[in-house]
Chain A
Amino acid sequence: MFDILRDNWTLLLIGQYPHGPLGGIVLTILLSLSALVIAFPLGILVALARISPFPFLRAPATGLVYMVRGIPLLMVIFWVYFLVPVLTGYPVTGFMTMLCALVIYDSAYLGEIIRAGIEALPKGQTEASRALGLSYLKTVRAVILPQALYNVVPSMVTQFVSTVKETSLGYIINVQEISFAADQINNRLLTKPFSVYLILALSYFVLCYALTQFAQYLERRVTRKRAGARARNSGATAASLADPLPTEN
């Protein structure tokens, strides 16, 4: 097992990078990070649309969330793979396909996380800021989002873990991320599938476990800060921020 690691660690880490496309775990992280960064503003929009009083905003956002909850990511990937070239007229790379699919998926999930954060805030926050004469947009920007987003940071880190795990599906459409690299190594060695796939599983484990622990640390900090705020304001309710939509892959 260690000799496999010694011979192939560059492939697992960066793919064939200097002599070929970037790959390996660096691509895995790059892919999930960019997906989350692009999906973040979209997630805020989805969350605001989901709690909006106007049905023409609420209906499409709710539709998107239920579509994403009901359709496997793999199916979304195939749709993007087939539809984007038809619609834009350009061929898309595996990386872009994966990125588009993950952005669609993550914007819905982040939307639900942010919505839970907003709904956990006391109603008085909105009322007070409107009473002070702030417009809807200013209320959202200066009062609601800063509090809600801070409270859901741990859930967003958890969502990042899910996204990292979801990038493994890139293997199916030949994106050269770490699962693909492991498959290449396995095809070359042929005789040691157990060790190769164990290395792959452990690599994901190390990365995701570290992130999960980080999320739990943040969770404790946020809880402590919210408990402090509650003690100071004596009586303000703080609903628990349970994960609105568990993810796994």
Chain B
Amino acid sequence: MKLHFDLATVLQGNYGALFLHGIELTLAMAVLAWLLSLVVGILLTLIRLTNNRIATAFVSTFVAYHRNVPMLVQILFWYFGIANVLPQGLQTLLNEYNGQFVFAVIAIGLCSAAYLSEDIRSGLRAIPYGQYEASRALGLNFLNGMRYVVLPQALRNAIPPMVNHAVLLFKNTSLAMAIGAAELTYVTRQIENETFLSFESYLVATVVYLTLSLVIMLAGARLATSYRIPGVK
């Protein structure tokens, strides 16, 4: 077998454009899913803070489900299962507007929300209750005490695990290929099938994934240092 290395073919012309489209979709998916997870994650934390029995049970179930079922299965369940029981009109509408993408974003976003709410919760738990009591004693009401005293500390504690989970979310967008969303892994397989340049196509995709993950990790580390509480390790 003659070994040759032909990076140019997969990077130029149609294949290069295809790669770019894949990267674009991967990034869009990651950003949208992350925003969804942020909103839902904060909501879940707030619901848990109410200490209502039913509300807390709901959040615990939500978190337990999303942490104990593989993300791939959640994506499949959304795309094949839940999509199937939606009203017909909505199904047609979603199929017209790239249903794979939408369901992948929902599945990945909700799953990450469960992890994110746990991150914020453990960040909150690390703040001594005295901080809250002191803020109330100083005359701040509940919301202001949360806003000015408790949350600024809790969110700083939560930055490192949140960055880890953001990297995981980014990596997990690759699972969307299972339902045919044309993100980076999907187009890599497609290019490989058409050119038979397996090594080159995988190399490009791997470098892109690794670079972007490292960028997220690095940015997260910078964020954690710049928001560090002075005097606290």
Chain A residues at the B interface, C-beta cutoff of 8 Å: 66-67, 69-75, 78-79, 82, 161, 164-166, 168-169, 171-172, 179, 183, 186, 193-198, 200-201, 204-205, 208-209, 212, 245-249
Check if B202 sits within 8 Å of A75, measured CB to CB.
yes
Q: Which residues of chain A are near B142, meaning CB under 8 Å?
A: none
Q: Which residue, of A67, A168, A196, A212, has the highest number of chain B Cβ atoms within 10 A?
A: A168
Hey, which chain B residues are within 8 Å of A205, CB to CB? 64-65, 68-69
Given contact pairs A74-B177, A212-B67, A248-B67, A196 touches B81 in the complex (Cβ within 8 A): yes
Contact of A197 among B68, B80, B178 (CB under 8 A): B80
List which B109-133 residues lie within 8 A (CB) of chain A: 111-112, 115
In whole Å, how far is B206's beta carbon from the nearest beta carbon of chain A?
6
Contact between B69 and A208, CB atoms less than 8 A apart = yes
Asked if B21 is at the interface (CB within 8 A of a chain A CB), the reply is no
Among A161, A204, A248, point to the contact of B172 (Cβ < 8 A): A248
Contact across chains for B214 and A66 when beta carbons are under 8 A apart: yes
Please report the C-alpha to C-alpha distance between residue A169 and residue B76 in the assembled complex, in whole angstroms.
Answer: 12
Q: Contacting B214 at CB < 8 Å: which of A70, A198, A249?
A: A70
Q: Check A75 against B206 for contact (C-beta < 8 Å).
A: yes
Q: Which residues of A contact B188 (CB under 8 A)?
A: 78
A165 touches which of B71, B80, B165 (Cβ 8 Å): B71
Chain B: residues with Cβ within 8 Å of the partner, total of 44
Majority DSSP secondary structure for residues of B touching A = helix
Contact: B73 with A200, CB < 8 Å? Answer: yes
164-178 of chain B: CB within 8 A of chain A: 164-165, 167-168, 171-172, 174-175, 177-178
Q: Is B85 an interface residue (CB 8 A)?
A: yes
Closest A residue to B83 using CB positions: A193
Residue pairs across A and B with Cβ atoms less than 8 A apart, 9 shown, are A72-B209, A73-B171, A74-B177, A75-B209, A78-B202, A161-B68, A208-B67, A246-B164, A248-B168
B70 close to A72 (CB less than 8 A): no
Q: Tell yes or no: B153 within 8 A of A by CB.
A: no
Residues on A with C-beta less than 8 A from B185 are: 72, 74-75, 78
Residue in A75, A183, A245 whose Cβ sees the most chain B Cβ within 10 Å: A75
Shortest distance from the beta carbon of B151 to any chain A beta carbon, whole Å: 21
How distant is the Cα of A66 from the Cα of B71 in the complex, in angstroms? Answer: 22
Interface centre among A69, A70, A193 (most CB of B within 10 A): A70
B137 to chain A, nearest CB (A): 29
**A120 CB to nearest B CB, Å:** 15
Q: Which of B146-201 contact A (CB under 8 A)?
A: 161, 164-165, 167-168, 171-172, 174-175, 177-178, 185, 188-189, 198-199
Q: Which residues of A contact B214 (CB under 8 A)?
A: 66, 70
Contact present for B202 and A165 (CB under 8 Å): no
Chain A positions within 8 Å of B168 at CB level: 246-248
Which of B65, B73, B199, B206 has the most A CB atoms < 10 Å from its CB? Answer: B73
B72 at the interface (CB under 8 A from A): yes
Q: Which of A165, A172, A204, A247 contacts B178 (CB 8 A)?
A: A172
Residues of chain B with a CB closer than 8 A to A75's CB: 174, 185, 202, 205-206, 209
Q: Is B82 an interface residue (CB 8 A)?
A: yes
Q: Is B77 an interface residue (CB 8 A)?
A: yes
Cβ of B217 within 8 Å of any chain A Cβ, yes or no, is: yes
Q: Is the CB of A209 within 8 A of B64?
A: yes
Whether the Cβ atoms of A245 and B164 lie closer than 8 Å is: yes
Minimum CB distance partner of A248 in chain B: B168
The complex places the Cα of A208 from the Cα of B214 at a distance, in Å, of 30
A160 to chain B: closest CB distance in Å?
Answer: 12
Tell me whether B74 is interfacial, beta carbon within 8 Å: yes
Is the C-beta of B56 less than 8 angstroms from some C-beta in chain A?
A: no
Decide yes or no: A194 and B84 within 8 Å by CB, A67-B210, A71-B171, A246-B164 being known contacts: yes
Asked if B202 and A70 make an inter-chain contact with CB atoms under 8 angstroms apart, the answer reads: no
Given contacts A165-B70, A205-B68, A248-B111, A72 and B172 within 8 Å (CB-CB): yes
Decide: B69 and A204 in contact? CB cutoff 8 A: yes
- The answer to whether the Cβ of B135 comes within 8 Å of any Cβ in the partner chain is no
Which of A66, A164, A208, A248 counts the most B-chain CB atoms under 10 A from its CB?
A: A248
- Kindly list chain B residues whose C-beta atoms are within 8 Å of the C-beta of A78: 185, 188-189, 202
Given contacts A82-B198, A198-B81, A246-B164, contact A179 B217 (CB under 8 A): no
Name the interface residues of B43-98: CB closer than 8 Å to any CB of A: 64-65, 67-74, 76-77, 80-82, 84-85
